[in-house]
Amino acid sequence: MTHVLDELHWRGLVAQSTDEAALRDALSAGPVTYYCGFDPTAPSLHHGHLVQLVVLRHLQQAGHRAVALVGGATGLIGDPRQSGERVLNTKETVADWTERLKAQVSRFLDFEGENPAVLVNNLDWTAGMTAIDFLRDVGKHYRLGTMLAKDTVARRLNSDEGISFTEFSYQILQGIDFLELFRRHGVTLQTGGNDQWGNLLSGVDLIRKTEGGSVHVMTTPLITKADGTKFGKTEGGAVWLAPDMMSPYAFYQYWLNASDADVVSWLKIFTFRSREEIEALAAAVQERPGAREAQRTLAADVTTLVHGQDATDAVVAASQALFGRGELTELDEATLAAATDELPRAQVEPGTPVLDALVASGLVASKAAGRRAIAEGGAYVNNVKVDGEEAVLSAADLLHGRFAVLRRGKKTLAVAVAD
């Protein structure tokens, strides 16, 4: 059986670790109890967090014990950014976001069976700590020289914005988390993104100084696109994991649009396909690029991982139905709305001539062009061919009372919307 560390390396999920040989031995002797933290600085996790969730899942599937931490305390502070202070959210907002993130994290790990994961909130041990406790019991173990040398801190100190004591103290809070989990759950490994390296080491040093213990950290690399553009960048910002911030349809389309240069590495990172399966899909990219088998597999697997099989089935059905390979009438309103969200649109009401809707949506440049499209049999409403230039959009044509999908030819789409 492949060692889990070798598997993670093959998948491109390891950037660096404190002592890889010692970590390898610990994982071999196992089980190792490990954790990763997620701060509620937004109402949803995003694509960057997905990398960490995948690592947690790989380690749990290899028999190691997972602890997932949602930072109800650290979320009140916020990890220092590369530039500029964070806006501090209210305690009520952070508490609400903490619950949302707990629900998201819970989808990725097994909390039952013989090796159940544990979900914790660092507010549980931080809220009762007094300022004197913080300074006497923890602060005395930190040296300013070491803290000032952290990459993000040093960069902020040399910027016009500087850094507040609040954000400067974040690395201590993260160190406290590792120490508490070491004491409470026997955690000896922390994982995170490579940009968190300094914060992760904070806990290693604190455990060594307070407990005399030896623990490990391991980071994942920054995921980039082959063309140099930023991974996870969309018109709406991040690739959010919450369906109310990015619909499963839009989420699926993001992965489906992966380039041939990126898709194989993304299959390794974000799916649990075997080496043999990924190698076969890599060959398909080279031999049959037009079929986009790898992209469809990636999109389906990641959407199922994040949103579940039912959501993936609905998205695939919507994609097929838009182009006449399925029944639009069978799509629920939310899926249909998401599927047509980025299409050109025309505002209509029952009785609007189809010809007017074609022109208003931009599917045709003029009424004359619309008449030609209809006469040639190339205009469709909800995948039904328009039978004459006098046709109108009836109330029955408005799916869910709102949408009529317009199509010219095989691939050019728009939507008529009645509000």
254 is in an annotated binding site: no
Average pLDDT for 164-182: 94
List pLDDT tens digits, range 312-368: 999 999 988 988 888 898 898 989 999 998 899 999 999 999 999 999 999 999 999
| CATH T-level fold of 233-327 | Tyrosyl-Transfer RNA Synthetase (1.10.240)
pLDDT at 273: 97
Q: Is the pLDDT of residue 60 over 70?
A: yes
170 is in an annotated binding site: yes
Q: Is the pLDDT of residue 236 over 70?
A: no
Pairing of strands 379-381, 189-193: unpaired
Q: Is the pLDDT of residue 76 over 90?
A: yes
233 is in an annotated binding site: yes
| CATH T-level fold of 345-417 | 3.10.290
Residues 109, 57 contacting (CB under 8 angstroms): yes
Residues 178, 207 contacting (CB under 8 angstroms): yes
| CATH T-level fold of 4-220 | Rossmann fold (3.40.50)
pLDDT category at 71 given cuts 50, 70, 90 is very high
List pLDDT tens digits, range 189-221: 999 999 899 899 999 999 999 999 999 999 999
82 is in an annotated binding site: no
- In this structure, what are the phi and psi dihedrals at residue 125, rounded to the nearest 5 degrees? -105, -10
Amino acid 45 reads: L
pLDDT category at 235 given cuts 50, 70, 90 is low
Other beta carbons within 10 Å of 102: 17
Q: Is the pLDDT of residue 243 over 90?
A: yes
User: In sequence order, which ranges of 271-396 are alpha helices (DSSP H)?
Assistant: 275-287, 293-307, 309-322, 333-339, 354-361, 367-375
pLDDT at 177: 97
- The percent of residues in the chain predicted with pLDDT above 90, rounded, is 79
Average pLDDT for 69-91: 89
What ranges do the domains of the chain cover?
4-220, 233-327, 345-417
Identify the helix (H) or strand (E) that includes residue 412: strand 412-417
Fold equal for 4-220 and 233-327: no
Number of separate helices (H) and strands (E) present in the chain: 19, 11
pTM above 0.85, yes or no: yes
pLDDT category at 171 given cuts 50, 70, 90 is very high
Q: How many whole angstroms from its chain centre is CA 389?
A: 46
pLDDT at 52: 97
Query: Which residue in the block uniquely carries the two structure tokens 């989990």?
Result: 181
- Integer angstrom CA distances of residue 374 from 370, 371, 392, 407: 6, 5, 13, 11
